[in-house]
Structure 1
């Protein structure tokens, strides 16, 4: 059986220096006028050419960190990040007997996109009420997939 390569077509969890700078600037502006704080954190230790850690894993990335990264990396370098405005939400009822098979197939299909690379970024909820609870927690998915919703 051929091994499926993981491909991040939605670019969730990664950003190059230009994208990172734009996200940081946008979030800084949004945070001035918003009740919930938007943030970006590093998902890995970032090291310079000498092996010194310049940004630790789980460290908040702000504009001064971006400027430091620009001095140490090429503009097209991809960084593993986490942002509260990323991820995938699947809204589907898994409790109803009519929906169990459909919902499990839908979830498995979405988890399989890109060779399973998005699995850690997927939240499955059973109603729009629960989806709004995610928004209240400060998470806003990049993609929302609606499956089976009973009437």
Structure 2
């Protein structure tokens, strides 16, 4: 029985320590995760988070799916049938125009994807391979905060 009480006290001390790392405006959201399993934010709290983590309007648009796909304008976002192979050669039995329209090597594919990613970052200021926003309970919050909330949720599940 003594071990159980010690474990409970240690657990709550750890939770309080974790909550202490949050800013005052995020304390309520963190407590909601621990106590109720969900989060809630006011518009003001979200705005504070966006300012804290340098979240731009384009970051939010990207998270909502309001920006175009970063591969738009490439062979991968077209009606072309593309074959990617190690050598850049099509399979022996396939015919151009019938089975495929474009064939390329894996290196060529990766170069096209990287070029599109860099152009997207230059145009929109958003890295599609490393977004700054994650959705948690319907809220668009910075990835760093989402990780904290995920950790708190794991702590809650272990109770």
TM-score (norm 2): 0.25
Report which of the two has the higher share of helix: 2
Report which of the two has the higher share of strand: 1
Q: Which has the higher contact order (CA 8 A, sep 6+)?
A: 1
User: Could you say which structure has the larger radius of gyration?
Assistant: 2
